[in-house]
Structure 1
Amino acid sequence: CKRVDSDDRVRCVIIRGAPPLDPPEGKRKKPNSFAAGADISEFSGKNSDDVRAFFEDNAWEAIWNLSKPTIAMVDGFALGGGTELALSCDIRISSDRSMFGQPEINLGLIPGGGGTQRLCRLVGYGKAMEIVLAGEMITAKEALEIGLVNKVVMPEELENVTMDLATTISKKSPYTTKVAKRAIRASLELPFSEGVLTERSEFVALFDTEDKEIGVQAFLERKNAEWVGN
């Protein structure tokens, strides 16, 4: 993730599972898992020290801490750590056959990859409680209704829809998209009044950037902006 974040050629990051295998002729392609969570058999006999070491370097926080916009492209099962992986992204686009859930409660555990925190911020206290305490799967349609995902599309449309959005984002100033992400993220971490001050500070600072001048002139001259990234 550090290499991706430092590569100026990368404007937007898409997180996806392995593509589905080709089905027999005449059969609909079935999804693989986006990320089906941990191998439960590995939990047997583990103690707190074993598990604590695992969190020293994990994908959830690595993706969450990327400064660039991230999109989860979900097709299939996204359970436990898989839902948490999607929650670590800024935007989630799902196929209509995907399933989400936090089933850890059924093992005598709770989500450990940020699920209790990010889920609550995204869908609200009550829905987060229901998903975590019931430990049941929810459909993509349900996920859309509660705001867990941004869009639900047919499986054959998923890649194009995701790529179209990533392309749209990638055409904006790469510096300004980072600033926008930072300002929006502040709303999750700061009281409202402090968040507004953070936004204002970021807004004012952008007036000293080359990309602001480029964007304004491109708008006035009705041409595409050629961003320089600062």
Structure 2
Amino acid sequence: MTDAVLVHTQDAVAWITLNRPDAMNAINEDVRRLLPEALATADADPQVRAIVVRGAGPRAFCAGADIKEFVATPQPTAYRQARVHRHWIAAFDRAVKPVIAAVHGHCLGGGLEIALACDIRIAATDALFGLPETGHGIIPGAGGTQRLTRVLGLGLALDLVLTGERLDAQRALAMGLVSRLASPDDLQQAAGDLARRIAARPPLATQFAKEAVRSGAELSLADGMRLESDLCSHLVDTQDRVEAALAFQEKRPPRYTGQ
């Protein structure tokens, strides 16, 4: 039984930890199998309203793929078919609840692809980001070329992918790769505070807002506006919307149930 990925739930937040600190949390077959399972379990848990993904140990969020698995050369057709039908990173796209990446230390290759697959990225000031794959004779293969382009735009994405340049946390913040910074000592607290702040809001509204933003980004403005209107209309008669209005009128904390 491997413990390459750990899950702990507290205060409506599921903490998913990449737990290979001796290998800088490098992605091996256990991580590829267990991380999607952990995400699916947390997403299906009615007590969970936000998810945080983090790395164990002081050195890395995730340093990328485990190089030990690169020795053997797979047959290309079989390799591609396996990735098309069961790519592990797609688990992030299936998550309904908001997912936050709490990034410290090295966040390279597949590690950055994990962070990019999350909805929000908060980084410690010691974080270092990069996609070094082209220097190893490959390209990012878990969404890096696609998600980085959607986050930073075409020019910056091409610059980083083609050069393999590494970004420190301050530059990552300035470019919009991450949205918040914290000191290394404060990162876990800051990520937990952010997750609990989101978890305290009406869960259906949070999930629908995530869908509107993520799905709408792939649509034309007109189609995105229709999606937003449709999702908004589904929230009008929810108990949480009524509770929010009553709590405001009665000057008391709201009690949201997700209904």
For residues 32-61 of structure 1, what are the alpha-carbon distances to aligned partners after superposition, in whole Å with 9 as ceiling and x for unaligned? 211111123422322324533256434421
Question: What pairs with 1:154-193 in structure 2 (closer than 5 Å)?
Answer: 154-193=183-222
Higher strand proportion (structure 1 or 2): 2
Query: Paired residue for 1:195, among 224, 237, 258?
Result: 224
Q: What is residue 51 of structure 1 aligned with on the other side? A: 79
For residues 33-90 of structure 1, what are the alpha-carbon distances to aligned partners after superposition, in whole Å with 9 as ceiling and x for unaligned? 1111112342232232453325643442112320000100001111110000000100
Per the normalisation by structure 2, the TM-score is 0.81
For residues 102-147 of structure 1, what are the alpha-carbon distances to aligned partners after superposition, in whole Å with 9 as ceiling and x for unaligned? 1111122111111111101111111100000001211111111110
For residues 184-222 of structure 1, what are the alpha-carbon distances to aligned partners after superposition, in whole Å with 9 as ceiling and x for unaligned? 112221111100111111112211211111111111111
1:36, 1:77 within 8 Å by CA — same for their partners in 2?
A: yes
User: Over aligned residue pairs, what C-alpha RMSD do you find?
Assistant: 1.4
Question: What pairs with 1:105-124 in structure 2 (closer than 5 Å)?
Answer: 105-124=134-153
Per the normalisation by structure 1, the TM-score is 0.90
- Percent identity among equivalent residues? 41
Question: What pairs with 1:21-32 in structure 2 (closer than 5 Å)?
Answer: 31-32=58-59
Q: Say whether residues 1:39 and 2:55 are aligned partners.
A: no
Deviation of 1:150 (Å): 0.9
Q: What is residue 220 of structure 1 aligned with on the other side? A: 249
Please give the alpha-carbon distance, in whole angstroms, between the structure 2 residues aligned to 1:203 and 1:101: 37
Alignment gaps of 5+ in structure 2: 1-38
Q: What is residue 13 of structure 2 aligned with on the other side? A: none
SS of aligned partner of 1:200: helix
Q: What is residue 3 of structure 1 aligned with on the other side? A: 41
Please give the alpha-carbon distance, in whole angstroms, between the structure 1 residues aligned to 2:172 and 2:48: 29
1:95, 1:140 within 8 Å by CA — same for their partners in 2?
A: yes
Please give the alpha-carbon distance, in whole angstroms, between the structure 1 residues aligned to 2:174 and 2:238: 39
Alignment gaps of 5+ in structure 1: 21-30
Query: Paired residue for 2:162, among 133, 150, 155?
Result: 133
1:59, 1:85 within 8 Å by CA — same for their partners in 2?
A: no
